[in-house]
Amino acid sequence: MQCPYCGQDNDKVVDSRSSEGGRVVRRRRQCLACERRYTTYERPEEAVRLTVVKKDGSREPYQREKIFAGLQKACFKRPVTDEQLRGIVDAAEEEIFRKFDKEVPSSFIGDEISVLLAEIDKIAYVRFASVYRQFTDVGELIQEARDVKDAPSVGPEQKDLFAQDGK
């Protein structure tokens, strides 16, 4: 591995651990020439090779980070941890890599993520779905929001609101 600081190809691995459910190996390396340390991430080639086919027919390499970033955006200020989001991506990837080996439609990824996210946070789900499932018309989004509102899971802050109304 070429050192990012001095360019020498002479290093030793000082620490090695897997993350993201074993899909990625993170290695801490030390350059033997300049002694500086840096980190490398290794993932199986299959994961990198997968191509996402978008609705307009354009293609781009599958990027786990992109999905994760989209989830984080949808969960802004929601009580959802990065750990839960990683779990969602892990579970979705399992399905994606099981069913597709070269190309996967972006809609399939969006659907998988949506279903998993809906189980964790309804608000984040509606936000995510409005972007990734690209609702064909506004009515569909409103219906989706209504379904969420009517769902029995009412947060404590909402209960308080109802109580005040009753006074």
Residue 6 binds Zn ion, judged by CB under 5 A: yes
Among 5, 14, 140, 151, which residue sits at the site for Zn ion (rule: CB under 5 A)? 5
> What sign for the dihedral angle of Cα 154, 156, 158, 162?
positive
Number of residues that bind Zn ion (CB under 5 A): 7
CA 62 to chain centre: 12
CB-based contact 133:110 (threshold 8 Å): yes
Residue 76 binds Zn ion, judged by CB under 5 A: no
Among 1, 24, 25, 33, which residue sits at the site for Zn ion (rule: CB under 5 A)? 33
Which CB, 12 or 77, lies closer to Zn ion? 12
Among 31, 67, 89, 117, which residue sits at the site for Zn ion (rule: CB under 5 A)? 31
Residues 6+ apart with CB under 8 A from 8: 2, 31, 32, 33, 34
Residue 14 binds Zn ion, judged by CB under 5 A: no
